[in-house]
Amino acid sequence: MSVGAAQLGLRQNWKQFTLLVIVNAFVGGMVGIERTVLPMLAEQDFGIASRTAALSFIVAFGISKALSNYFVGRLAGRFGRKSMLVTGWLLALPVPFMLIYADAWSWIVAANILLGIHQGFAWSSTVVMKMDLVGEKDRGLAMGLNEFAGYLAVAAVAFLTGLLAAEYGPRPVPFQVGIGIAVVGLLLTVLWVKDTGHHVHAEAAKSAVPLLEKPFLDTSVRHRVLGSVTQAGLVNNLNDGMLWGLLPVLLAGQGFNTASIGAIAAVYPAVWGLGQLLTGKLADHVDRKLLLVLGMVLQGIAILFLPYVDAQGTYIALSATLGLGTALVYPTFLATIAAHTHPKQRAESLGIFRLWRDLGYAIGALLTGLIADRFGLTASILSIGVITVISGLLVWLRMPAERRCLEPIDLKKWLEKPDVRVVDVRSPEEYASGHLPEAINIPVDRLLEQARTWPKRQRIVTVCAKGGGRSAQAAQLLRDVGFGRTWWLCGGTLGWS
């Protein structure tokens, strides 16, 4: 396939996109095999009473996944996305056998190191490949579908293994599910998944997003948008690490049986997964800053209530609230990172974000384990709830607001004043086929160069055919370089007419 033949868009690439969604469901299922069972296994089979020691498997998983995310981001451009995905599945194959036959807790920790590397390679690859396929306009929807499939699979397999553990015991039957998942995931990838390198080159040729000067520093902290998203991602997984390790223990202490614990624990990733079908699309149309703040605060409040309830229905409601809060932020994280990075740096920047985000698992497990051992379970859970709320407030304070589209009726009023510049950011051929009478034509890839001489206080409205694609990208580019009074036209030229 030539570069020119690569088309961007969800509709244009629906077959490969659908296949990658299915593959990511299998990736999520690999985590689900131990989500319910492993915290109880630590105490029942290995006699580990210390919360810090019991949560060591999450620390191992979080660190290995985080580092893998980073290296996949660096290596994907050199060796291709598909090769990273195949590598991830090969690394998954030994994990179920290690969990089944482990005779010491160190083997469980080692299995989780491999599981973390598998998740870093496989999940990161499916995320980046979907971003490559769909282009700018549908990135939120793409990430919603990706995370929906992955986390719904986590929930389904967690629920299934909880039932199997209640019927047959924690080993070996629940972990045998993982053998089938790993084999099928590998076969799907090797036989039918195609690399997306041509799509990256096609988008890069048209992109006007500036290259990051120092990708690691910018993504981690320096860039106001990327840094805000990265800290929130870390805290999101910090509280998820706490829930993974301590929620089954909290519920067992309340007298719930294994099947009930599995059901309650499964609601959280189920709502998280299903919710992203809606919230992913929202991230393409609603202020992403608002979604991030609302999601983080909602999570924090739900966590703060966990120690003070005892009814199964209330726990299910809180688990659902946690899932909704996480659904609001998860696709929004990824869509925001992609929107503010050049296609050539997308895999690297997403890898850096996912490095910090998944270090949250390790930090959360260590922090909650240490606090639980010293001050008790309640203090540990409350501390994570407070940190989560603070993270949402940091996004509110630091991340610039995203002004979205301007309605055609409002633009008609604005055009009566002299300080409004309307810029059609499509190609000259598209512009010639029909445009607003007041619009000048500057393709998006030449916009920043042309805008150097414009006054920064001028009101600017960017326009494309339907609105929300190139016009939204162009408006964001102008805001990033200091044109604070920039909007894009709702509905584009079609909406205007």
What string of DSSP letters covers 89-117? HHHHTTHHHHHHH--SHHHHHHHHHHHHH
Domain enclosing residue 207, as ranges: 3-398
Cβ-based neighbour number of residue 89 at 10 Å: 26
How far apart, in Å, are the Cα atoms of 296 and each of 155, 264, 385? 21, 21, 10
Q: Does residue 4 register a pLDDT over 60?
A: no
**Which of 398, 419, 440 lies at the terminal end of a domain, its last residue?**
398
Beta strand ranges found along 197-274 (DSSP E): none
Which candidate in 66, 117, 152, 464 is catalytic? Answer: 464
Residue 348 and residue 475 in one domain? no
Lowest mean pLDDT of 174-188, 221-235, 278-292, name the range.
278-292
Q: Indicate the number of domains in the chain.
A: 2
DSSP 237-255: HHHHHHHHHHHHHHHHHTT
Residue 366 is encoded by which pair of tokens? 């260590």
> What pLDDT is attached to residue 5?
59
Name which residue leads in pLDDT, 362 or 297: 297
pLDDT in tens, 268-307: 888 888 898 899 888 877 788 999 999 999 999 999 999 9
> What pLDDT is attached to residue 341?
86
Q: What is the mean pLDDT of the chain?
A: 88
Say what percent of the chain tops pLDDT 90.
Answer: 43
Residue 387 and residue 482 in one domain? no
Residue 101 and residue 54 in one domain? yes
Residue 415 and residue 271 in one domain? no
CA distance 331 to 148: 9
CB of 296 closer than 8 Å to CB of 395? yes
Residue 334 and residue 414 in one domain? no
Give me the helix-helix angle, 173-192 and 81-92, nearest 10°. Answer: 160
Q: Does residue 1 register a pLDDT over 50?
A: no
> What pLDDT is attached to residue 402?
64
Residue 170 and residue 37 in one domain? yes
Closest CA to 79 of 126, 125, 36: 125
Residue 384 and residue 409 in one domain? no
> What pLDDT is attached to residue 2?
43
Q: What is the largest CA-CA distance in the chain?
A: 78
User: Quick check: is 405 catalytic?
Assistant: no
Question: Looking at residue 314, which CATH number applies to its domain?
Answer: 1.20.1250.20
CA distance 337 to 353: 8
Overall pTM surpassing 0.85 (yes/no) = no
Residue 392 and residue 422 in one domain? no
CA distance 212 to 215: 5
CB of 442 closer than 8 Å to CB of 450? yes
Question: What are residue 406's phi and psi, to 5 degrees?
Answer: -105, 130
Residue 459 and residue 478 in one domain? yes
Residue 137 and residue 280 in one domain? yes
Residue 389 and residue 443 in one domain? no
Q: Does residue 258 register a pLDDT over 90?
A: no
**Which of 339, 369, 398 lies at the terminal end of a domain, its last residue?**
398
Residue 211 and residue 185 in one domain? yes
Q: Which residues contact 17 (CB under 8 A, 6 or more apart)?
A: 10, 130, 133, 134, 142, 145
**Which of 380, 398, 416 lies at the terminal end of a domain, its last residue?**
398
pLDDT in tens, 370-418: 998 899 999 999 999 999 999 999 999 999 776 567 778 778 878 877 7
Residue 131 is encoded by which pair of tokens? 């971003």
Radius of gyration of the chain (CA): 23
pLDDT in tens, 103-146: 888 999 999 999 999 999 999 899 889 988 987 767 888 888 88
How far apart, in Å, are the Cα atoms of 445 and each of 30, 135, 146? 42, 15, 29
CA distance 374 to 51: 10
Q: Does residue 261 register a pLDDT over 70?
A: yes
Q: Which residues contact 244 (CB under 8 A, 6 or more apart)?
A: 35, 39, 58, 361, 365
